[in-house]
A and B are shown apart, each in its own frame.
Chain A
């Protein structure tokens, strides 16, 4: 009411200053309001996995008795935890890709871009908040979901074992789940954030630029370049480079010295950071980011 009264007298109250971090926080929350798949996706994947795991638990006492007889079988229990982590991460990646393609196109499609632009939020801040979803929010969130899921699995297994008169102790001490979690965290930062960065950058750029069919624009030009190179020069450097970008995490053995061979076991950050591909990728990411901000600045509704 005071604002209204003072406006009547023509005296403007001095506005509070909003720090950039606070604006960023609200912009990220805004993204999560709009794109609920960002958290529903990984949580749903975990839910489905836990449901299946719960049903499979009836076999656990039998497996545990076998493992007690033959300790070599103990390590099989760890597989479901890796599988859970893998399933959740795959879902998170799919969400990431679809999010990136919609992030800067959606606001033009639903014609709300000018509403957002009528607020004191810069294009840099907007693109930053949207980039934070694939670069920070989803990795952190899916890591959290993986850890919680693993813990829930452990607790459920322990209850089942205890009810069958077996000790759940080996599950807690012999599977190395804590190391596994750290390995996963390492893998996420190295591969899913640092190594895949140019993929998200490229998708965000396409999302800012393409009027529609972001998926086609994201996929067809690289494909076209690969085909052209093959036809014109008879080589496939570009295709190799793209493939290397995607598969480096998995096929690192074929290219020694480029990626940690198995991030979960071999911690070699030094060598990883010496990889030129990593820095080249980040240069591409920065260029994509800057272009996305510039394009968004010029854009109106579709």
Chain B
């Protein structure tokens, strides 16, 4: 069964169309990055998936209709977002107690284990913690939930490099396994390139690119050009061309790498480079 399945997902706020007929299918056990410029519809898509907003079209998450049964869905879905902040007044011990009380899949001992590795104390209130520590706390709470889908919306926004690195490390080492699915959005795409198994670009409410990371690596090639071979390369119809230190860098889609090796230095592009290429097209 697919973890998330959407067909013709639409959502409009007045005259603004946030989602314009999105089709997507996320299998279980994948880590999907949903990348898009500001206002592309990422958050709206996530909100629809989480049952936070009504929508038109068909959407099933773990076989359920999110808007109809959000509370039921949330037994198996977790969510960390820059806009879903922990309340400032709550004490760490209260948060643990409350989750233990209302969440059937929350394992308090596990959360306390994660927290023991940080400098967060049970008696701390959220307002006494730094931003990085609040995210650590939120992650500890969420990782102690035996969920099937984890949704991360800009989870590391505003964190320094150390916290960001640690965030993805603990996510992969202590949480992810093949039975879980992770769906994330972020603008810091370079950080998640090695984390993802699947990639999706969204722009103006539409999915403009969707591929697995294996596919990404075989399909796209970036070439730092030999200047004299530029014309030959352009004949192969690169999808994007840019200048780096006065040299042309061309990005190709589905062109044999052996062919390109003769034209200059080839490499797999970064997600960011591909993103720019797709958005500029």
Chain A residues at the B interface, C-beta cutoff of 8 Å: 1, 3-4, 7-8, 10, 12-13, 15-18, 22-23, 25-27, 29-30, 33-34, 107, 110-115, 117-123, 125, 298, 300-301
- Beyond A114-B81, A117-B70: 9 further Cβ-contacts under 8 Å? A4-B107, A7-B179, A12-B146, A16-B104, A110-B87, A112-B87, A118-B77, A123-B70, A301-B83
Which of B14-22, B93-101, B232-240 lies at the interface with chain A?
Answer: B93-101
Determine the distance from Cα of A107 to Cα of B87 in the docked complex, in whole angstroms: 8
Question: Interface size of B by Cβ–Cβ distance < 8 Å?
Answer: 43
* Residues of B close to A3: CB separation below 8 A: 107, 110, 146
Residues of B66-107 whose CB lies within 8 A of A: 70-75, 77-79, 81, 83-91, 94, 97-99, 101-105, 107
* Residues of B close to A117: CB separation below 8 A: 50, 52, 70, 74, 84
Q: Distance in Å from the Cβ of B89 to the closest Cβ of chain A?
A: 6
- Give the total number of A-B pairs whose CB atoms are below 8 A apart: 113
Across the interface, B88 reaches (CB within 8 A) one of A33, A110, A120, A123, namely: A110
Contact B107 A29 (CB under 8 A): no
Chain B minimum-CB-distance residue to A122: B71
Q: B116 at interface (Cβ–Cβ under 8 A)?
A: no
Contact A300 to B52, CB < 8 A, known contacts A22-B101, A119-B102: yes
Main secondary structure of the interface of B (DSSP, over half): loop
Contact A8 B177 (CB under 8 A): yes
Q: Distance in Å from the Cβ of A111 to the closest Cβ of chain B?
A: 5
Contact A34 B146 (CB under 8 A): no
Contact A115 B86 (CB under 8 A): yes
Chain B residues at the A interface, C-beta cutoff of 8 Å: 47, 50, 52-54, 70-75, 77-79, 81, 83-91, 94, 97-99, 101-105, 107, 109-110, 138, 146, 148, 177-180
Q: Distance in Å from the Cβ of B241 to the closest Cβ of chain A?
A: 41
* Residues of B close to A110: CB separation below 8 A: 85, 87-89
Determine the distance from Cα of A117 to Cα of B97 in the docked complex, in whole angstroms: 17
Determine the distance from Cα of A299 to Cα of B104 in the docked complex, in whole angstroms: 25
Contact B74 A10 (CB under 8 A): no
Contact B98 A118 (CB under 8 A): no
